[in-house]
Structure 1
Amino acid sequence: MKKKSILLLGLATLAMSFGTLAAVGAANAFSGDAVVVKAEEVKAYELVPEKGSNNTYAGNCDIQINGITWNLTGNSTTIPWRIGGKSLTKVDRSLYSKTALNKNISRIDVSIGDATDITVNSFTVSVFKTAEDAAKNANAVSSLNPAFKANSTIAVSKPEDANWENCFYRFAFNVTVTSKDNEYLQLNDATFYEDSTQPSISIADEADFTLTSGDKKSISIEAKNIPEGGSIAVSVDDKDIATATVNAESTAIEFVAGNKVGKANYKVSILNSSQEEVASCSGSVTVKEKDPEGLSKGTALFG
């Protein structure tokens, strides 16, 4: 009886062990392929490829999608876009934004299609504060290298100490192609999410605009999750060109053009109760000289 009991106990333990291993294996397989959306994250922007003007792999073109202008090096005349080329050795092919995404981004999901006869040595997602830096690939706020996998969705999350609000984005695929024929990877789309619990502020109107000396303009802003005791502030780097104030309802910024001609940059910020900046957005105002009174452009002063 004792031997039989020991044998039965051993078989039961073995069965439980296999069951546990199977459960762990299934859980790991699921978590490896699944993209988890946090309850506080909401969809902020979708980059869904549209047909562009460039059909070569080494050439590039601008494409506007949902209010954001993107520059793609690759074949944009096909959907999904094709990124690659022929006879390449560790060459970067990039897609970058030329317009700021006025959202507090927390995660980007990049959907990749086929990648046949092309080696992707690395995939880099970089975030910048200016359009110039994004174009030059310089001074990145964040630069992340997620593992590349064809026919999958690659999730890229913001580091805890980074700020991805009102930023520009660059996706770089470092590729190698041994063939003398064009080979490529497919970029299906990219979805940007924002953390809905964090303070965020954006400009609802055109952020960069022009005024004539003495003119006024109001631009709408959208602020979310202002901390208790917090406020909205605006600053202009050259007050001789223009001044700005926040309206009483904190829903708009009122600009008054000065007498100085030129371009000034402005920043709208959410401040906490300690007057520390927790979110911001920016733009520019250009002031041009007023035409002579009573004369329109092109009117001769002397006959």
Structure 2
Amino acid sequence: MSLFNRLYTSFATLSTGLFLLAGGFFGMARPAWSQDHLLFCNNPEKIRISGVYADTLLKAGEKYTVFYHYKNVTGVSGNFVVALHGAVAKPLRFTARQGFANPQNDPPLAGRQAMARFLSSVDKSFVGKQGAGRFTHRVGDRNVVSGVLSVQCDQPTRLRLYFRHDKWTVPGARVIAVATPRREVEIALSTASDRKSFRIGQPEAGMNRRLDGTYGMLYAFKIAAPQGRRVRVSFSPRGGKGGLVGSVNGDLRQSNIVPAAQWRVFFEQSMGKRGLNLTTAPFGGVFYPVELVFQLI
């Protein structure tokens, strides 16, 4: 079976010479995990010319989550490539957790699909025999390329995202790095305090001023409530149309895209012995913050 077919999607391929070591399966969300850095790649937002849209160095042994979301407005189709190139003359060994959307012309749906696939994926191990590896999307004109990828390399590695070729860097291209991109939040509900709220996606003090949302950051909610009581989690986009993708005790859930300031129920569930855990992350193509309300019903 080809490398192309061994991946869980038909829209991202691996370059020749990159060997997949470990398989995985799809359809079940995974819990949040630790990560060292979040790399936000969305400047500029539109692909207007061919070239490099992100270029940065990854430290050996550290885990990076790479978020990207671009719309192709060049008028032509082409390959969008996520490229890794090791700094030493030996095979590049790395693990990757992939969330790649099908190229499509609906930005919110592309972003939601990428995040859902990322939360449903597992870490896989690869070897780039020539010291490099890459993931390739075929992107049509007016299509959106959206992805969330975690990667950890065994050596210093150059990461580049480019459209059609990597001969030059396009004007305005930049990567915004966010340290410790995971937030653990405890939500305690009781008869005396039966409603709590929390906003996700809102940049925090000290973050880069060019960051208009914490896209790709993991929020892990641990919900405590009296056993047997039913808990409802609702959400409302506060900055424009939005939605929610998340793992509820390991089960993947996705909302529709809803207009700004409207409320929707994301899920209801009775509190059992396992407790209640929600992991979610802001995705591309929509607006933040999104307000979550946790309540006993």
TM > 0.5: no
TM-score normalised to structure 2 length: 0.32
Higher RCO, 1 vs 2 (CA within 8 Å, ≥6 residues apart): 2
* Bigger Cα Rg: 1
TM-score normalised to structure 1 length: 0.32
